[in-house]
Structure 1
Amino acid sequence: MSKQFSSACERNRQPILDVLKDELAACTRVLEIGSGTGQHAVFFGAQLPQLMWQTSDLAQNHPSIHAWIQEAGLPNVLPPIVLDMTDAAWPSERFDAVFTANTCHIMAWPQVEALFAGAAHILPPGGKLCVYGPFNYAGKFTSPGNAQFDASLRAQAPHMGIRDIEAMQSLAYAQGFVMQADHAMPANNRLLVWQRI
């Protein structure tokens, strides 16, 4: 079956929604980078009907996203576009916000750099960049579980790993973003919110 299921998406969707309700209250168009299975898109789309939610991912992940969107039948969740951070052809239209979950520790660092550069390109001043996932502080893991997760990532591929918040901050600042919030989330995750200046 093309429709995939992520238990992590199921667990974290409500805590993320609780933050996005406030952070995206003034937004109307959101680009999700790395829509994965498509679960987040249809859940957030149903709960935030004022938002047009544009899904995106690598082409091989599109069948599952299409399946979730088709089943949900929501007019405000748009079919996925191909967006690959190794060779990103960014959409020409502008968005009020960019959201991504659990991507920065999977991508190589140059891809994370491309994500921030692309977000800066498509967001107007005041636009928001919301990034969910685990992060280190001062080079230290926030929990033993995160240390184990980082080790498992690096065993899969050397370019993977939990990122340092300080490196993310420097990258954001270089692209014209200022941090608005650092939300503590369940399971030792964070939801970081930057605003384009």
Structure 2
Amino acid sequence: MQTMDAIAATPEGALASPAAARNAGPILEVLKAHLPARGRVLEIAAGSGEHAVAFAGALPGLEWTPADPSAEARASIAAWAGAADLPNLRPALALDALDPATWPEGPFEAVVCINMIHISPWAATEGLMRLAGRALPVGGLLATYGPYHEADVPLAPSNAAFDESLKARNPAWGLRDRDAVTAAAKAEGLALTRRVGMPANNLMLLFRRL
């Protein structure tokens, strides 16, 4: 499972992410304001599964499908899901943004991607946009969360240090330029409709399928 967070194993076999615990509430508030009341949601790079459980529990009208290419992550998702026993939380998919053969059939009313774009090669972002462009109906939502470079906003020192640490771990990783991400989305028929400032110098970028 790709992460820069300090992951701890729980006695039940699930993985616990301090970052997921911190940011689930603020992310959920944005999702509540922009997701439909009912429909199918696909969560890309779902990681430990804590977000999936929190969001599915708070949004019972939505069928939430988490996905992650990591077997370790999917085992953790299954453990959290088993403990929560939510009727609207689907089993995790082995979805890899780099491999279209693993992508599920749509439509999904929304695609959610948290903390993947900077901890993956650029091709994964391009894959995410192609997947969303294919899976979303007209008006469907793609919501991304994480830190970005922005030409019109000075980079926070903490994000600059984080960017350096990412690139030291893997030269293909690093904070992406917001305009480059927006252009990749536009190429797949997705328009940036909202930029939401989040705690700890993160952003949520919301795109709609044209």
TM-score, reference length from structure 1: 0.96
Equivalent residue runs for 1:1-197 within 5 Å: 2-60=13-71, 61-88=73-100, 89-138=102-151, 142-197=155-210
Contact 1:172 1:178 in 2 (8 A): yes
State the 1:193 CA deviation. Answer: 0.2
Structure 1 unmatched ranges of 5 or more: none
SS in 2 for 1:195: strand
For 2:51 and 2:154, the matched residues in 1 are separated by 26
Contact 1:139 1:164 in 2 (8 A): no
Q: What amino acid is aligned across from residue 195 of structure 1 in structure 2?
A: R
For 1:77 and 1:143, the matched residues in 2 are separated by 36
For 2:98 and 2:35, the matched residues in 1 are separated by 28
Contact 2:167 2:174 in 1 (8 A): yes
Aligned residues: percent identity? Answer: 43
Q: What amino acid is aligned across from residue 106 of structure 2 in structure 1?
A: E
Summarize deviations over 1:69-121 as a string: whole Å, max 9, x none.
Answer: 00000001111011112223211231000001000001100111011001100
Contact 1:183 1:191 in 2 (8 A): yes
Tell me the equivalent position of 2:4: none
Q: What amino acid is aligned across from residue 17 of structure 1 in structure 2?
A: L
State the 1:140 CA deviation. Answer: 6.5
State the 1:59 CA deviation. Answer: 3.7
Contact 1:137 1:165 in 2 (8 A): yes
State the 1:26 CA deviation. Answer: 4.5
TM-score, reference length from structure 2: 0.90
Q: What amino acid is aligned across from residue 82 of structure 1 in structure 2?
A: A
Q: Closer, same or farther in 2 for the Cα pair 1:102/1:51, shift >3 Å? A: same
More displaced stretch, 8-17 vs 132-141:
132-141
Structure 2 unmatched ranges of 5 or more: 1-8
SS in 1 for 2:119: coil
Q: Give me the CA root mean square deviation.
A: 1.3
Q: What amino acid is aligned across from residue 190 of structure 1 in structure 2?
A: L
